[in-house]
Amino acid sequence: MRKQVWFVVLALLLVGMACSFGAGSETQGGAPTADTGSATQGPAATQSPVLFQDDFSSSSSGWDRTNYDDGSVTDYVDGGYHILVNADYASVWANPGISVADVSVETDAVIRGGVEDNEFGVICRYVDESNFYAGSISSDGFYAIVKIEDGEFGYVGSEGMQPSDLINLGDQVNRVRLDCVGSRLTLYVNGTELISASDSTFSSGDVGLYAGSFSTPGIDIYFDNFVAQRP
For residue 228, the cross-strand partners are: 52, 105
Domains of the chain: 3-15+49-229 (2.60.120.560)
Least confident window among 33-42, 133-142, 158-167, 192-201: 33-42
Q: Is the pLDDT of residue 105 over 50?
A: yes
pLDDT at 40: 52
Question: 133: closest CA among 197, 215, 61?
Answer: 197
SS3 (DSSP) at 77: strand
Give the C-alpha distances (Å, rounded to integers) separating 142 from 104, 120, 163, 170.
21, 10, 4, 12
Q: Is the pLDDT of residue 16 over 80?
A: no
CA–CA dist 115, 162 (Å, integer) = 18
Which pTM does this prediction carry? 0.81
- Say how many residues make up the chain: 231
Over residues 119-137, the pLDDT tens digits come to 999 999 999 999 999 999 9
Burial of 182 by CB count in 10 Å (0-12 exposed, 13-18 middle, 19+ buried)? exposed
Over residues 37-86, the pLDDT tens digits come to 445 555 455 578 999 999 999 999 999 999 999 999 999 999 999 999 99
Q: Is the pLDDT of residue 114 over 60?
A: yes
Instruction: Confirm if 189 and 109 have CB atoms less than 8 A apart.
Output: no
Residue 72 or residue 26, greater confidence: 72
Give 3-state DSSP helix, strand, coil % of the chain, rounded to 5: 0, 55, 45
